[in-house]
Structure 1
Amino acid sequence: MATPSAPADRDKVVTKIPPQLRRELKIRAATVGIDIQDAVTEGIKAWSSAAKPLDLIDTTGSESFSTYVPTTLLARFRGDCSELKIPYNQGVAQSIRLWLDAHPLPQRARRATGARRIALGNQKGGVGKTAITAGLGQALAEQGFRVCLIDFDPQGHLTKQLGHEHLPLKGDSLLKHMVGERQGELTELLLPVDGEAFGGRLFLLPACTDGFLLDAKLVTSREVRVKETALEKALAAIEKDFDFVLVDCPPSLGYAMDNALYYVRTRDGEETGGSGILIPVQAEDSSADAYELLREQIDALCDDLGIDISDLGFIVNLYDSRKGYVVTSSLDGWRSIGTPEVIAVVHELKDQREAVRQKTPLLVYAPDGEQAETMRQIARRIAA
């Protein structure tokens, strides 16, 4: 949200600050809806009137930072730093910290209709459902929301990417809660996803390979009368504790996908678009073919059960225009659909692949990278 050119009454601040501080400023300013230049201006004003000395900020490893501040305020600030024998970059860092402390992440009030529920689904594998689920969840947690990631794919890619193992087959699992065979409370299976920026707000419900048995179990279970409602009934135990529940769906058109779609339907009293399905795709023909199958499943389920499911949009993942006409024309094709619309394009970069190899969340491994910033943009759009 930084201003690209200098206003007439402002001068450019050029200095170095710690990357973590710069990142906090960028995220917080976007979250509270203020330009970075205005946040820094408010911080400098607070610094000027604050009792001195202030706590020193560790500026080790600082990186370039620039913005614009009113001319007269900046001149006075430079003079004050010099008079107090405080390095200029230390004064800027202290000012930003004062602003951050005065503008904490907003307290997210629980919605009367409960957590917002988003399924990330596509019948085709390899389009990036897991990467988008993880990145979106991390970005929402950064912005102050409590988020639960559900690894609903028995292959467990989300679980593994975040550095965990499948739940043991003989233990408790989401499947067992869905078919009436639970061994404990579902909340006991949740694992925190580590990351300072997540603030203890991001959790994972790991996969178990027993998920491959879901269709057969649901068909034979006497505990579940309406097969499509099993996931919702199981997740009711944890849903109340979160602002968002994100479901990483398997590449399947069976009962698992039916359950995920039913779970994210628009419930009675809930605004349209609060929950729904987000569809990761790639700029190539097989993704389009898979989407047609998914579209048919969504429409059939809505007709059969009399429900509404909001389309939250396409995310075109792993995009690389250097691959030529096929991908560029395919992107144009996705955009031409209109509804649902393309809400983001995620470029094919090494950050995500390296984060997966390190079993580290993307926004921890490469928090200042382009892919991380795209995830934050998607999160702001979804949370709006």
Structure 2
Amino acid sequence: MNSPAPNDREKVVSKLPGWLRKNLKVRAAQHGIEIQAAVEQGIRDWCNLASTTATIDTSGADSFSTFLPPGQWEDFRQTTTDRRVSLIQGLAQSVQLWIDANPAPDVARPEVTRRIVVCNQKGGVGKTAITAGLGEALAEDSNSLHPVRVAKALTKALRASEPQTADAAQDDDLLDIENLPGPGQRVLLVDFDPQCHLTNQLGATPLPMNGDSLTNHMAGDPKGDLRELIVSVDEDTFAGRLHLLPACHDAFLLDVRLSAVRAREAALERALAPLEGDYDVIIVDCPPSLGLSMDAAAYYGRRRDDERPGQSGALIVVQAEDSSADAYDLLTTQIDDLRGDLQVDIDYLGIVVNLYDSRRGYIATSSLQGWVDIKDPRVVGLIGDLKEQKEAVRVKQPLLSYAPKSQQAIGMRALAREVL
């Protein structure tokens, strides 16, 4: 989070061990302050101590530069001389003093488990990729920095009326990237699609037809505890914060089985409610359908009495082409009918334009403009059609593990921060 020196600061150069420099960058980002401000405060506090603090291991220290108020570095040099420690040791102690005085903030947890329903009755728009990428981005480590596209990319995309090369588009996006701590959320991904795409893409195994499943729990015929079916996704990367409830092909029969269930709109909520206390966010990857299962998913995402607007609801995935607009109209009509019939509030969390490529010309750019013009719900994500997502699917790994610095991963993190 370094920035150019203002007129009232001067550049100073010393050394710090790499591990300490990394800890400083992370902690400063967690508190949303500039590194130079953190170092300035640390040096001031260290100089005001009655004596030096514990010795820091500075082996392997390499160049470190920052900007300090005029005169502070000279006063610091004099203090290190008086205390008979090296400049490098004094700076290391100062930085560690600031880190110790500013512990990592607690991860912000919602009072009510958020429920995000990723939907569109049109197949092939990439709902599964968005479900997985959003969940991965929300679950990333809050004590590590990850590249995020923090500025709005939509304006730039719309300005690009002429097709551009993929390299040029990526170079343009790099101007908007900042390294930020992950949200650190506890996330459950629910594969609600009988095709089991989410389950397969994340390297899990679909549940057997003769065993227990989410379908059985929704139909009122459970064969055990739903928790026993949940699997952890990539423990090395997400450290137990990201889980998956795999799908079973028996979900092809869900609409038929739901037709015999009382209050069938609440069937998904009855099944998942016992799990909610374990998670901050539950994301449901819906099937390309407008049947009873979609009613149950939309109802699950409704706003509850103790919940603020925009915390839970429907996230609609589309592409920048005409058939997505037709499917969007059908989906929103179904949700609006459900709102009226059951007298519930179902919020739209936004539109994600997926698999976008301005090189496809007028169809893509004009369609994107059409989505942006809707305003309510607004476009909250723009994800490019690049190779890394397809590669991650092929090797059955999470995108943010396989290609954490790719433009698609950076876009998923931007989407996560829009939805948070």
d(CA) in 2 for partners of 1:328, 1:321: 6
1:88-127 mapped onto 2 (5 Å cutoff): 95=95, 99=99, 102-109=102-109, 111=111, 114-127=112-125
Aligned twin of 1:229: 266
User: Do the aligned partners of residues 25 and 131 (structure 1) sit closer, same or farther apart at CA in structure 2, a change above 3 Å counting?
Assistant: farther
- 1:192 is displaced (CA, Å) by 1.2
The structure number with the bigger radius of gyration is: 2
> In the alignment, residue 315 of structure 1 is paired with which amino acid?
V
Partner Cα distance (1:351, 1:270) in 2: 36
Cα RMSD of the aligned pairs, angstroms, is: 3.7
Q: 8 Å contact 1:119–1:248 — kept in the other structure?
A: yes
Distance of 1:316 and 1:66 partners within structure 2? 41
- Amino acid across the alignment from 1:170: N
Q: Spell out the pairing of 1:1-384 with structure 2 (5 A cutoff).
A: 2=1, 5-10=4-9, 25=25, 32-35=31-34, 38=37, 51-55=53-57, 84=86, 95=95, 99=99, 102-109=102-109, 111=111, 114-142=112-140, 143-196=183-236, 198-220=238-260, 224-383=261-420
Whether contact under 8 Å (2:349, 2:377) holds in the other structure is yes
What CA deviation, in whole Å up to 9, does each residue of 1:254-279 have, x standing for no partner?
11111110000011232111111111
Give 3-state SS (helix, strand or coil) of 1:240's partner.
helix
Is the CA contact (8 Å cut-off) linking 2:200 and 2:396 kept in structure 1? Answer: yes
1:199 alignment partner AA? A
2:160 matched to which residue of 1? none
1:52-96 Cα distance to aligned partner (Å, 9 max, x none)? 53256989xx9x99876656567788997xx74859xx969x958
- Cα distance in 2 for residues equivalent to 1:38 and 1:46: 12
TM-score, with structure 1 as normaliser: 0.82
Matched residue SS, 2:412: helix
Contact 1:106–1:144, Cα closer than 8 Å, also in 2: no
Instruction: Return the offset for 1:199.
Output: 3.4
SS in 2 for 1:372: helix
**What is the DSSP-based 3-state SS (H/G/I as helix, E as strand, rest coil) of the residue aligned with 2:405?**
coil
Aligned residue identity for 2:209: L
C-alpha distance in structure 2 between counterparts of 1:101 and 1:249, whole Å: 46
> Percent identity among equivalent residues?
52
On the 8 A contact 1:124/1:287 being kept in 2, the answer is yes
Counterparts in 2 of 1:371 and 1:169: CA distance versus 1, 3 Å: same
> Equivalents in 2 of 1:67, 1:315: separation in Å?
39
Q: Aligned to 2:137, what secondary structure does the other structure show?
A: helix
Q: Which residue of 1 aligns with 2:168?
A: none
1:24 shift after superposition? 9.8
Question: Partner of 2:354: helix, strand, or coil?
Answer: strand
Q: Quote how far apart the aligned CAs of 1:99 are.
A: 3.6
Structure 1 residues 266, 40: CA separation in 2 closer, same or farther (over 3 Å shift)?
farther
Amino acid paired to 2:195: Q
Measured in 1, the distance between the counterparts of 2:217 and 2:347 equals: 26
1:288 aligned counterpart, secondary structure: helix
Alignment-derived partner of residue 155 in structure 2: none
Structure 1 residue 12 displacement after superposition: 6.3
C-alpha distance in 1 between matches for 2:4 and 2:66 = 9
**2:16, 2:88 within 8 Å by CA — same for their partners in 1?**
no
Say which is worse superposed, 71-80 or 360-369, in terms of deviation.
71-80
Deviation, structure 1 residue 280 = 1.4
C-alpha distance in 2 between matches for 1:317 and 1:67: 40
**Would the aligned equivalents of 2:139 and 2:185 in 1 still touch at CA under 8 Å?**
yes
User: With structure 2 as the length reference, what TM-score do the two structures score?
Assistant: 0.76
Alignment-mate amino acid for residue 291 of structure 1? Y
Structure 1 residues 339 and 169, CA, compared in 2 at 3 Å: closer, same or farther? same
Hey, what does 2:177 align to over in structure 1? none
Q: Secondary structure of the residue that 2:259 maps to in structure 1?
A: helix
| Contiguous gaps of at least 5 residues in structure 2 | 141-182
CA offsets 1:161-207 (integer angstroms, 9 cap, x no match): 21111011111111111111211111111111225553322111111
CA distance in 2, matches of 1:361, 1:13: 41
CA contact (8 A) 1:11 1:69 kept: yes
Rounded Cα–Cα distance in structure 1 between residues aligned with 2:304 and 2:333: 21
Query: 1:187 and 1:73, CA in 2 relative to 1: closer, same or farther beyond 3 A?
Result: farther
* Structure 1 counterpart SS, 2:278: coil
Q: Deviations over 1:181-235 (max 9, x none)?
A: 2111111111112255533221111111111110111123xxx301111000000
Could you tell me which amino acid in structure 2 is paired with residue 299 of structure 1?
D
44-53 vs 356-365, greater mean Cα deviation: 44-53
